[in-house]
Each structure stands twice: as structure tokens, then as C-alpha cells.
Amino acid sequence: MLKLKQQGAIEVQSKVADEKEFNLDNTASSENIEITDDILTGQAFQFLSAGYDPLLIITMFVMHDLAQYPEVQERARNNVREVLEKHNGYSYACIQDMTYLEQCIQETLRIHPIITFLFRGCTKKYHLSEAGLVIEKGQKVVIPIGALQMDPKYYPNPEVYNPERFPPNVSKQNFTYLPFGDGPRFCIGFRYAMIVMKLGITKILSNYKLKLSPKNEVPMEFNKQSLLQIPKNPIWFNITPI
């Protein structure tokens, strides 16, 4: 955004589906948008406000999974300690180097995506040859994130928490892992979210051991009235200082 601010403005070209909205020369309309201080402030506010609840929920689920799998928790803790020692404290490079912790977050997002569906609109007629279906232009498409990410065809033993599914520097399976979406509509706050979650979880792992309390319900129930996939009841932890 700061680079765009230095440029002064960006040219936005919008190609609308309705031909009536096209210009007389049948080309898409375009306009210049000035990057003002208000736009910069608005983007920053959007990151902070829209990301607060989702990041809190995801962090809670990561803590739940690490508490449920103590061997994974210990490995993540060791990864954090080694990286902090290597970089002599926190920095952007240090956070990026916490690869195993990121694998844990990614696996948690596979099992517990806080948004279980994506909604898209078809922009042109498309044939699904294997299924023998045709999606017409203008039809709405529902993408079941939760079902895709728990499909054993893509993730063997999907109910098992296994961060090794996401080795560092290996691209995800094409459109079968969608907690932040994919393609042109990929979540713009993904990198910010990862940094914030890593920082928070790192502070916890560095100072405490996590264990699930017997007070928790098994299996976990979810709030069916919430837009986000959140537990119906609180998750309880037994936390021991290190």
C-alpha cells in the first residue's frame, strides 16, 4: 500500500458481466483511484478489526490441538526455542523461520476451518466432464471447505492431526486446502494473520505447557447459530508454567 501511495494512484479496470453496463465501444470501464491517507488508514483498520475474532478463534484451536498431541507440542516448542536462539530474539525473519509452528497452524486450519463454505459466481459456462454436469454462467457455486479438507482422497486419515502434511516450501494441493481461499480472491490478510498467530502461540509455548482439562466435552460441539465455526462451549486448559 505504501508503494501504491508513492505512485499516487492505481488504475482499476472492471469488466462487468452485464453487456448493458459496457461502454459504447464494448470495452470494460476503467478509473483511477487515488491512494489517500484515508484509504491507507481504512486498510489498516480493516486488517485489525476483521482479523481480531478469526485470529482469536484459530489460535484457540491451535492451542487445543497442541494440548491434545503433547509430542507435537514439544516439537513446536523446541522449534520456537531454536529459532529464537538462532536469531537472537524476535524479528520478521525469526517469525518466518518458525516453519514447524506454521505447519501446526496449517494442520489446525485443515481440521478446524473457521469458515466452512465459500460462495462464488460462475462467470462463463463450464463443463464438469467427470460428473457430467454443466455450470451455467451466472449460477452461484458453493465450495464446501470442511468436506474438501477432510476428504481421505486428498488427506489420508483426515481425522488425525499431522503437521507433516504441510512440509515447508511445498505448494498445497490444488484447491483442496482453502481456509484462506485461493486464486485471485485469496485472503489479503493471510501473511498478517500468520505473523500475529505465530507471535501469540510462541509466547505461550515459551512459557507454558498446555493440557486439555477433563471439563471439555468430547466430541466438541459447535455453535450452529454462528457464521464462524466456533465451539458451543469454552475450551478449558490446564496450564503449567515452565
pLDDT in tens, 19-69: 444 344 444 455 677 778 887 787 777 766 666 778 889 999 999 999 999
Which residue type sits at 1?
A: M
- CA-to-CA distance for 148 and 15, rounded, in angstroms? 31
Exposed/middle/buried for 168, CB within 10 Å: 0-12, 13-18, 19+?
exposed
Exposed/middle/buried for 5, CB within 10 Å: 0-12, 13-18, 19+?
middle
pTM for the full predicted model: 0.79
Q: Which grid cell is 186?
A: 485469496
Q: What percent of the chain has pLDDT over 70?
A: 84
CB 134 within 8 A of CB 125: yes
Rounded to the nearest integer, the mean pLDDT of the chain is 85
What distance separates the 2 farthest-apart alpha carbons in the chain? Answer: 70
Phi (first) and psi of residue 119, to 5 degrees: -120, 130
pLDDT band at 185 (very low <50, low <70, confident <90, very high): confident
Ligand-binding site membership of 94 (annotated): no
Which residue type sits at 143?
A: I
User: Which DSSP string corresponds to 15-38?
Assistant: --S-GGGS-TTS--EEEEEE--HH
Please determine, for residue 17, whether its predicted confidence score (pLDDT) is greater than 50: no
Q: Enumerate the domain spans of the chain.
A: 1-35, 51-114+148-241
pLDDT score, position 72 = 98
Q: What would the pLDDT profile of 153-184 be if each residue is shown by its tens digit? A: 999 999 999 999 999 887 776 789 988 888 77
- CA-to-CA distance for 117 and 70, rounded, in angstroms? 31
- CA-to-CA distance for 180 and 197, rounded, in angstroms? 14
Instruction: Write the CB contacts of 192 (distance below 8 Å, at least 6 apart in sequence).
Output: 47, 51
- How would you classify residue 183: left for phi > 0, otherwise alpha for psi between -120 and 50, otherwise beta? left
- CA-to-CA distance for 103 and 66, rounded, in angstroms? 12
CB 30 within 8 A of CB 14: yes
Q: Which CATH number fits domain 51-114+148-241: 1.20.1560.10, 3.40.80.10, 3.30.360.10, 1.10.630.10?
A: 1.10.630.10
